[in-house]
Amino acid sequence: MFSFAYGSIEKGIHALYGDDPEAADKALWGREVDPVSRRGFLKKSGLLAMSAAVGASVPFAEYMPGGLIPAALAQSDEAFRIPGKDPGLIVLNDRPVNAETPPWLLDDAVTTAERLFVRNNGIPPGNIDSDAWTLSIEGEAARSSVSYTLKELQERFQHYSYQMTIECGGNGRAEFVPPAKGNQWRLGAVGCPRWTGVRLRDVLESAGITEDAVYIGYYGDDSHISGDPKKVPISRGVPIEKALQKESLLAWAINGADLPVMNGYPLRLVIGGWPASNCGKWLKKIVIRNKIHDGAKMGGYSYRVPCHPVAPGAEVAETDMCIIESMPVKSLITYPRSGAIIEAGRTLTVRGHAWAGDRSVAAMAVSIDFGATWQKCALKHAVNRFAWQQWSRELHFPGRGYYEVWARATDSMGRLQPMVVPGWNPKGYLNNACHRIAVKVV
């Protein structure tokens, strides 16, 4: 068994028929499927499942008509709209808030703040006072401990802006078989806004870095989901060389405006090319360590993958797990949306972005014949290191029918995206399988 990126044929057929799921079922199964059983609600076991899905018990459940899809889950409903975010974001979880951006909303070359995904491990801070905000630098490998208010940071150090892709290490997790626990990200835990701030390097050097420094670690102002003040939701970090790269920023702005609260207001770390879990939000403290940082979610199965490939579902000892560093080569089709219908004889220009962690993207190709042949795409250079690159390709379809457009990037070291979900790992990280969309020519 293997599964394709972003869904099976079944999902593809459903995407193709968009708003008409009954027609999709007919196409897929040759018959109509009872919509209630198809949607999985309101079988007798449904009450628990429904409570879990809406995130609350349903006091009037006994009055709920059979077959009703809770409004909280209906596509058009905005009950859980996240303030400051595009209503098209898909909310995966509301405690804590986690939301991804569907590919067709990632079409902008520079991701807007409204369309940047949200990934929270804990409960974000409330009542943030940016005037009173301080960042401290300390740790065994810091020559001195220093602390700056946000204003001091902005006044004392030179400002830099870079467009940088941030992608959750678990983006694409939904496709792993056997499944991995955690937020079931599909494709949209990624974005590439322009960040402005000061260089982490300049600020670390102002404290002084001792010879034995090997790693940094961050601490944010969010609190643990359990409510236990002694527990830290997440505290990750990177090797000192990565921290000292010129693009590593302490950022207070996204596309020239304040960070949204959900994305770390008023200050966050941005480290290019590595899992976004390294980009600490609501940043209060950086520690310079003389050993690999051992904060929350640095060990065990968190943001680590088997050092050597394992069979799907294998048990892997913690000692055989290695920290994820550069993210792998990947691409998205951001136009058209899967399920596009075009007239026979018309051309279709497909487009999207590609990125490759610490590397750049060297080539981009698309296929309309399930990978039998590939067509080279136009590909732009990155505006700076760690920014995603735009690609496009005009397509001609030979006749009416059902097609899939598959997109595949190659990085600067010659590595290609795989067609199938690669490298099963216990927590479902690093799925960089090709994105594909359905297109019907009528």
CB 264, min distance to ligand MTE, A: 6
Chain residue at closest Cβ approach to Mo ion:
168
Q: Are strands 257-258 and 268-270 parallel, antiparallel or unpaired?
A: unpaired
Residues 101-160 that bind Mo ion (CB under 5 A): 119
Neighbours of 231 (CB within 10 A): 12
Q: Angle 421-425-427 (CA atoms, 0-180°, nearest 5)?
A: 110
Sole binder of Mo ion in the list 113, 150, 166, 168 (CB under 5 A): 168
Residues 361-420 that bind Mo ion (CB under 5 A): none
CB 120, min distance to Mo ion, A: 9
The entry of Mo ion, ligand MTE, none that residue 280 binds, CB within 5 to 8 Å by partner kind: ligand MTE
CB within 8 Å of 156: residues ≥ 6 apart: 148, 206
**Judged by CB under 5 A, which stretch of 124-132, 164-172, 369-377, 398-406 contacts Mo ion?**
164-172
- For ligand MTE, the closer of residues 274 and 403 by Cβ is 274
- For Mo ion, the closer of residues 179 and 256 by Cβ is 179
Asked if 304 is part of the footprint of Mo ion (rule: CB under 5 A), the reply reads no
- For Mo ion, the closer of residues 117 and 406 by Cβ is 117
The entry of ligand MTE, Mo ion, none that residue 163 binds, CB within 5 to 8 Å by partner kind: none
The entry of ligand MTE, Mo ion, none that residue 364 binds, CB within 5 to 8 Å by partner kind: none
Asked if 277 is part of the footprint of Mo ion (rule: CB under 5 A), the reply reads yes
The entry of Mo ion, ligand MTE, none that residue 234 binds, CB within 5 to 8 Å by partner kind: ligand MTE
- For ligand MTE, the closer of residues 251 and 439 by Cβ is 251
- Among 250, 248, 232, smallest CA distance to 294 is for 232
CB 143, min distance to Mo ion, A: 32
CB 418, min distance to ligand MTE, A: 22
Give the residue carrying structure tokens 């970090």: 237
User: The tokens of 304 are what?
Assistant: 């680590």
**Distance between CA atoms of 126 and 142, rounded to whole angstroms?**
30
Chain residue at closest Cβ approach to ligand MTE:
220
- For Mo ion, the closer of residues 101 and 277 by Cβ is 277
Widest pairwise Cα distance in the chain: 72
**Distance between CA atoms of 352 and 209, rounded to whole angstroms?**
41
- For ligand MTE, the closer of residues 166 and 324 by Cβ is 166
- For ligand MTE, the closer of residues 14 and 281 by Cβ is 281
- Is the CB of residue 145 less than 8 Å from the CB of residue 207? yes
Asked if 194 is part of the footprint of Mo ion (rule: CB under 5 A), the reply reads no
**Distance between CA atoms of 404 and 438, rounded to whole angstroms?**
5
Taking CA atoms, 120 is separated from 99, 170, 296, 325, 337, in Å, by: 9, 13, 14, 20, 27
CB 167, min distance to ligand MTE, A: 7
b/e sequence 28-50, b meaning 16+ C-beta within 10 Å: beeeeeeeeeeeebbeeebbeeb
Taking CA atoms, 264 is separated from 73, 142, 155, in Å, by: 27, 25, 20
Secondary structure class of 388 (helix, strand, coil): coil
- For ligand MTE, the closer of residues 38 and 297 by Cβ is 297
β-bridge partners, 403: 439
Taking CA atoms, 125 is separated from 220, 225, 246, 261, 437, in Å, by: 9, 12, 29, 9, 38
Interacting residues with ligand MTE (CB under 6 A): 116-122, 166, 168, 220, 222, 233-234, 263-264, 276-277, 279-282
- Which positions lie near Mo ion, rule CB under 5 A? 119, 168, 277
